[in-house]
Copies of this chain bind each other. A is one copy, B any other.
Amino acid sequence: MRIRFVTTNPGKIEEARARLGPRGVDVRPHAARPTELQADTLEEVARHKAESVRGRAPAPYFVEDAGLFVDALGGFPGVYSRHAFDTIGCRGILRLLAGVPARRRAARFRAVIAYADRGGRLHLFEGTVKGRITARPRGGNGFGFDPIFEPHGLDRTFAELGTAEKGQASHRGRALDALAKHLAVKGRV
């Protein structure tokens, strides 16, 4: 089956293709520009994004919203991670955590997918990965805050993983897995 992924982020497209392609889902980018709410949760943002492209993107389609939540910073940058990345970047997060020891650098990456099925009904899928903020950026793959996030159980950052490896380990990979499972149960693929 073919599904549109409403995003202009080539890195996200690549991750979705690597994860869903082998399961018979043909992921195509769609450039409809969604509006995004300022909201407390990724769920609200993703739901609203999906609603905002209704009629402009051909169903079935999905949107995704993700964020990095740093415990010692009260959950910052959270829902507004992209803006924080575009302005203060990885260096800003590291500065905010200067002097904070490894055991207090816990963080989560979360992703929420809002999928509009052929009938236009919305379904939400979530993925979370726990880990910690590193002392300095490491690795050249991925995008966003990947170079400063080390998931539990790995001694590498997201930016030190290849696309396939990151798909296995990442919040987005987990949300994509949940979507794939839903599609398989529905007998779509």
Contacts and interface: CB of A to CB of B under 8 A. Distances in A.
Contacts of A75: 87
B87 A92 contact: no
Contact of A88 (B38, B45, B96): B96
Contacts of A96: 88, 92, 95-96
Interface stretch (A14-22, A78-86, A128-136, A168-176): A78-86
A74 interface: yes
B74 A78 contact: no
A185 interface: no
Contacts of A78: 83, 87
Contacts of A37: 35-38
Contacts of A95: 95-96, 98
A52 to B, nearest CB: 10
Contacts of A77: 87
B87 A74 contact: yes
Interface of A: 35-39, 45, 73-80, 83-84, 86-88, 92, 95-96, 98
